[in-house]
């Protein structure tokens, strides 16, 4: 997020964004830590929650990168590269966060539906292969 100093309250908004992003970063780390410290037979939902935590962690990193961009009048090619990387990271990990949330909803549906069977290992592998394909699609298209 570029700092617009001529806008009233811009410093407050920049500080608020930095604090919220930092809290999100540490919250995502805590989610991942708790999922890894769970007892040995980890459920599918717990693994998917760890995946959401990882996606949110990297989204927070992208958001933190935007707080340190320089606000200059002349165009600097290094800042354009940082902005492009940050934009791709934001889009990929925001989309993956929504994707993993949807996967948790599907897994929850299958856990309460008595007539449907779900191969949890196969579901977990397919979910992550599709996530890699989705992320690759963003990277190659952008």
With the CA atoms of 110, 116, 119 and 125 taken in that order, what torsion angle do they form, in degrees rounded to the nearest 10? -50
What distance in Å separates the CA atoms of residue 12 and residue 98, rounded to the nearest whole number? 29
Residues of the chain with pLDDT under 70: 1-6, 69-80, 142
Per-residue pLDDT at 19: 92
**120-141 and 77-112 helices, crossing angle to 10°:** 160
Q: Which pLDDT score, from 0 to 100, does residue 72 have?
A: 52
At CA 80, angle to CA 78 and CA 84, rounded to 5? 120
| First CA to last CA distance, the chain | 20
Q: What is the pLDDT of residue 51?
A: 92
**Rounded alpha-carbon distances, angstroms, from residue 102 to 52, 97, 108, 127, 131:** 10, 9, 10, 10, 12
CA 136 centroid distance within chain: 15
Q: Determine the pLDDT at residue 139.
A: 77
What's residue 30's pLDDT? 95
- The Cα 60–Cα 63 span in angstroms is 5
């Amino acid at each position: 997020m570029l700092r617009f100093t001529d806008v009233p309250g811009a410093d407050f908004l920049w500080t608020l964004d930095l604090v919220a992003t930092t809290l999100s970063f540490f919250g995502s780390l805590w989610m991942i830590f708790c999922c890894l410290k769970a007892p040995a037979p980890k459920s599918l939902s717990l693994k998917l929650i760890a995946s959401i935590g990882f996606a949110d962690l990297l989204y927070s990193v992208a958001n933190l990168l935007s707080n340190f961009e320089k606000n200059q009048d002349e165009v600097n090619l290094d800042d354009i590269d940082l902005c492009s990387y940050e934009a791709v990271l934001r889009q990929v990990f925001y989309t993956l966060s929504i994707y993993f949330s949807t996967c948790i909803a599907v897994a929850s549906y299958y856990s309460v539906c008595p007539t449907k069977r779900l191969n949890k290992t196969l579901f977990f592998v397919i979910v992550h292969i599709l996530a890699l394909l989705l992320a690759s699609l963003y990277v190659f298209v952008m």
